[in-house]
Amino acid sequence: MTGFFNNKKVLVSGGAGFIGANLVKRLLRTGAIIRATIHKKEPVIISEKIEYIRCDLLRMEDCKKAVEGMDYVFMCAANTSGAAVIASTPLVHVTPNIIMNSQMLEAAYMAGVKKFIFISSNAAYPPSADRPVREEEMFDSDPYDIYFGVGWMKRFTEILCRLYAQKLKDPMPTIVVRPSNIYGPYDDFDFATSHMMAATIRKVVERHNPIRIWGTGDDIRDLIYIDDFIDGLLLAAEKLNTFDTVNIAQGKAYSLKEILKMALEIDGYQDAEIVFDRTKPSMIPVRLIDTEKAERILGFKPKTEITEGITKTISWYRRTYLNAG
């Protein structure tokens, strides 16, 4: 990583969340002047070099306070959860995120922020069968029905990003980063709200028996380790200077069955009973995103193979939760 962020004033919203905490941790090594927002959670990265401010980003006055004096804003704060919550309460991610994203963009623009980086979602893409989907295909058709609400929320924010970067007299550069499924340390391991990889790793490490998996286990995903995603995120923030969208992914496909098998083997869990619950809905049968643009424009190539990433995450989870009681 270059010295691009040295002495730059950088805001990380959602500084206690999965992506935000890992981004803050990395920015500490760049010499950036870091401010991070927290809400209900306490900070997990502790340093006197980080200015934490407690904010409710549903309040415009808090958004203005957060962005004041900042050069760069990374919009990591979001109302997020896993498949179970999205399936049962599809509206839960719509209104709060639209309000936060809209207000943070407006506050950043009014404060003269130099660049705004928004983290979108691969769930917003339309179906593409088993083919990796490219950046320019985002609005070709609706997202999968199961992600209709959250997908259009992300798309709406992307349109707002384009508005601020291209349609105003004094534009604010905005960058939209669309990740594949991210996993790693500081992820959400609460079964009520966790994503697939975190839930799987917790079940393996805690020796659940049986291990219950939603659907058939044949759903296909691209999984990127958090350190690699942060690499791509910072490269996009550094190298893209007007409105642009870019996929950040590992570029490899694995079924849920394969992922579970790897986790079991890595952690030495040999006699687990696996139950595939076909009464539970599959979310997206295949979701792969194309990585050619990130490699061509950013020079981005992930460094962490999935077995290494799972090993690191298992070790972190055991050290953080089990060994700590």
Please check whether residue 51 lies inside any domain of the structure: yes
198-217 burial by CB neighbour count: b if 16+ within 10 A, else e? bbbbbbbbeeeeebebbbeb
Residue 192 pLDDT: 82
Residue 301 pLDDT: 97
Please check whether residue 91 lies inside any domain of the structure: yes
Please check whether residue 139 lies inside any domain of the structure: yes
Please check whether residue 182 lies inside any domain of the structure: yes
**Domains identified in the chain, total number:** 1
Question: What are the per-10-residue average pLDDT scores of the chain (325 residues)?
Answer: 89 97 98 97 96 97 98 92 59 88 98 98 94 98 92 97 98 98 96 90 96 90 97 98 97 96 97 88 86 98 98 96 69
What's the whole-model pTM score? 0.95
CATH, residue 139 = 3.40.50.720
Please check whether residue 259 lies inside any domain of the structure: no
On the CB side of 175, how many CA atoms lie within 13 Å of its CA? 26
Contact 83, 20 (CB under 8 A): no
Residue 86 pLDDT: 60
Please check whether residue 193 lies inside any domain of the structure: no
Residue 265 pLDDT: 98
Residue 251 pLDDT: 96
Please tell me whether the peptide bond between 210 and the residue prior to it is cis, using omega within 30 degrees of 0.
yes
Please check whether residue 74 lies inside any domain of the structure: yes
Residue 215 pLDDT: 85
Please check whether residue 23 lies inside any domain of the structure: yes
How far apart are alpha carbons 215 and 285 in whole angstroms? 10
User: Structural domain of residue 37, as residue ranges?
Assistant: 9-187+223-250+288-303
